[in-house]
Chain A
Amino acid sequence: MESWLIILFVIIPLFTAFLIPLGGKLLPWFGRTAVSGIMLFLVALAVHIILRMPGTVVYMAGGWEPVEGIPVAIYLVLDGLSLFLLLIINLLGFLSAFYAISYMRRYTGEKYFYTLMCLMIAGMNGVVLAGDLFNLYVFLEISVISSYALVAFGVEKTELEASYKYQVLGGLASLLVLFGIIMIYWQTKTLNIADISMIMQGSGQDPFNIFIQLILIAGFGIKAALIPFHAWLPDAHSSAPSPISAMLSGVLIKAVGVYVIIRLLFNMFPPDNSVAVVFTTIGALSMIIGVILAIGQWDLKRLLAYHSISQMGYVVTGIGMGMILLARGGENPAAALAIGGGLFHMINHAVFKGLLFLNAGAIEYAAGTRDMTKMGGLARYMPVTLSSSFSASMAISGIPPFNGFFSKLIIIIAAVQGGFYLLAVLAVIAGIITLASFMKFQRYAFYNKPEPDSPAREVPVVMRASMISLAVLCLLLSLLVFPGIRQVLLDPAVNVLVESTEYARLVLNL
C-alpha cells in the first residue's frame, strides 16, 4: 500500500479547518457540507485500508531515511490498533458532523464550530498515527485545546465554568505528560517510540522507569477521566453542544487517553506487573464508582457522562487484566481474550454512547430541557428517538443481542479464566446498576405522564438519519464476535498489543 495515504488522515481535516472560515464568508453552507464531506471520505479511506489489511505501514515525513539505524524523521505509524481507532474516530466524527447540520442551526458562529471540530478530529487522528512522543504531544494539545473551546461554545454561565475547570485539569494533565516525556528523553536521549522501546528492552525494568510510567498513567488518566481524576468530565461533557458531547465521550477520552496509555505501556515500556496492577485497579474503581455516581443524576447528559467513566472502566479493566497476564509471562490465551474484550468494548462504547448523547441532544432540541423530571410522555411524539435510544440503552446495559452484551461477556469470561474473580463480580454488579439507571432514563423520558403543553415534535430528518445509522451499528457490531469478521478488524489490533515487542521491530524495519 502507498504509505502516503495515511498522512491524509491528518492533513485533510487540518486544511479544511483552515478553509472553513475563509469559505464561510462567501458561502454560508460551506462549513457544514465540507465537514460532512471530508469525514465521509475519511471513513471510506479507513474502510478501504482495513479491507487491504496492510499490516504495519510507516510514513516518514519528508522522506528522511534512518541514519545508521537511528530514526530521524517524523514517523507516522499505521498498524492494527491505530487503524481500529481511526475507524472509530472518523465514523463517529462523520455521524456527529452530519447530525450537527440541523442541530447547530440554533447557535451563532456556526463556521467556527466546524473549524474547531475539524481541528479536533485532525488532532485525534494525529495522536493515533504519531510514531514519536514529540508529535504525539503536539497533536494531543491540538485536539484538547479545540475541545476546550468547543465545551465553552454556548458561552453561558455553566458552559464557561465547565470549560475553565476542564482547562485547568487538562492543563495539569498536559504538564504531567510533558514531565513524563522529559524524563523519557533524559533516560534514552530519543523520542521515537520504537527507538525508545529498543533501548528500554535492553536496559530492563528499574524504579525510574516505573516512576515514569506512573506519571504517564496520572497524566493520561486525567485525559481519560479515570476515577481519581474524573472531576472535570461530567461538567465538560454535559455542557458541550450535543454532537460535541458525543465526540468527547465517544472518541476523545479514548483517543487521547486510553489509546495513548495502552500504546505506551504495551509497546514502549517492557511489561511490568506492578504497573499493570495499578492500571487495572484504576479501571476497576472507575467501573464501579462511576456507575454508583451515575445512578443518582437527574440531568440526562450528566447521567450519560458519569456512565462514560464507568464504561471506560470496563475497557481499562479488560486491557489491564491482559497486561497483568502478559507481564507474568508465558503463553496465556486469557490475555488475548481480555485485551480483545477491552478493545471490543471500546468501539461499542463509542457507538452507543455517541448515540445516547445524540438522543439527549434530540430530546433537548424537541422538549427544551435536560432535566429528566421535567420530561415525560415523549414516546408519543418522538418514535425514532425512542427506538434508537432504546437500542442504545439495551446495548450499554448489556442485553443480548446488542453489541454491549458480547463485549461485557468476553471481559467477564476472560476475568474468570485469568483468575480475577473479584473483577468478574464487580463487572456484573456494574452492569446491573447500569441497567437500572437506563431503565430510569427510559421511564422518565419516554413513558411517564406527559407534561402538559409540551412543545415536543420529532426532530429533523438529518438528525434522525444519524441516530438510525448508529442504532443499526449497535446491532451490526455484535457480528464482531464471529471469527471471519473478527480477523479483519479486531484481531490485528489485539495482536499489536499481545506481541508487544514486535512493534519496535516492525517500525524500525529490523
Chain B
Amino acid sequence: MTLFIMCFLLFLTGIYGVLTRRNLIKVVISLTIMEFSLFLMLAMIGYISGGEAPILAGTIIPAAPVVDPLPQAMVLTAIVIALATNAMLLTIAIRLYKKYGTFDIREINELKG
C-alpha cells in the first residue's frame, strides 16, 4: 500500500509541476513525471508474488499462479505513446523558442479571448 501512496504522491507532484512551472520544458518534464507514476502503478498492479511467466507449452499446466501479461503489454505500449507525445511537445517547444526567443509562458501569449 505504501508503494501505491508514493505513486500517487508522484502523480500529484507532476500535476503541481504542470500547474505552477512557467518554463515550457519544465511543463513537459512534469507531464513525464505524471506519466511514469501511472506506468509504475500499472506495473505494480500486474505484479503477482511468485507468479510464473505465462508461457503455455502444449498441455503442461503450470504449478504456480501465472502472471497476466496484459499490464506489461499495456505499460510498454503506453511508454511508446509517451515517447511520441514527448517528442511532439519538445518539437513544438523548440519551434516556439525559435519564434519568441524565450521559454517563458508568460511571454508567449498571442492567443486571447
Contact = CB atoms under 8 A, between A and B. Distances in A.
A152 B92 contact: yes
Contacts of A145: 81, 84-85, 88
Interface in A167-193: 167-168, 171-172, 174-175, 178-179, 181-182, 185-186, 189-191
Interface string B81-109: 10011001100110110011000000011
A233 B41 CA distance: 31
Given A162-B111, A185-B70, A178 B95 contact: no
A14 B19 CA distance: 36
Contact of B81 (A141, A148, A235, A239): A141
Interface in B10-62: 11, 18, 24, 27, 31, 34-35, 38, 41-42, 45
Contacts of A171: 31, 85, 89
Interface stretch (A153-161, A403-411, A460-468): A153-161
A138 B34 CA distance: 18
B77 A167 contact: no
B41 A160 contact: no
A145 to B, nearest CB: 5
A163 interface: yes
B45 A185 contact: yes
B95 A160 contact: yes
Q: Which size class do A's interface residues fall under?
A: 35 or more
Nearest to A182: B42
Contacts of B113: 234, 296-297, 299, 302
Contact of B38 (A149, A179, A186, A302): A179
B89 A155 contact: no
Contacts of B42: 182, 185
B92 A178 contact: no
A234 B68 CA distance: 43
A158 B92 CA distance: 12
| Interface SS majority for chain A | helix
A179 to B, nearest CB: 6
B38 A172 contact: no
Contacts of A156: 99
A381 interface: no
A30 interface: no
Nearest to B11: A179
B83 to A, nearest CB: 11
Nearest to B71: A185
Given A157-B100, A297-B113, A182 B45 contact: yes
Contacts of A41: none
A469 B24 CA distance: 43
A148 B31 CA distance: 16
B67 to A, nearest CB: 12
Contact of A172 (B18, B74, B81, B93): B18
A112 interface: no
Given A138-B81, A157-B100, A160-B92, A186 B45 contact: yes
Nearest to B84: A145
B111 to A, nearest CB: 5
A152 B96 CA distance: 11
A163 B113 CA distance: 16
Interface in A340-394: none
Nearest to A152: B92
B96 A161 contact: yes
A163 B110 contact: no
A161 B111 contact: yes
Contacts of A141: 81, 84-85
Contact of B31 (A152, A168, A234): A168
A209 to B, nearest CB: 17
Given A138-B77, A155-B95, A185-B45, A168 B89 contact: yes
Given A138-B81, A175-B34, A178-B78, A167 B88 contact: yes
Contact of B77 (A134, A157, A161, A164): A134
Contacts of B111: 158, 161-162, 165, 235, 239
Contacts of A190: 70
Given A171-B31, A171-B85, A178-B78, A160 B99 contact: yes
Given A145-B84, A161-B96, A174-B81, 16 more contacts: A141-B84, A148-B85, A149-B88, A158-B111, A160-B99, A161-B109, A164-B24, A168-B89, A172-B18, A172-B34, A175-B35, A182-B41, A190-B70, A191-B70, A234-B113, A235-B111
22 contacts: A134-B70, A134-B77, A141-B81, A141-B84, A141-B85, A152-B92, A155-B95, A157-B99, A160-B95, A165-B111, A171-B85, A171-B89, A172-B34, A174-B81, A174-B85, A175-B31, A178-B38, A178-B78, A179-B38, A181-B74, A297-B113, A302-B113
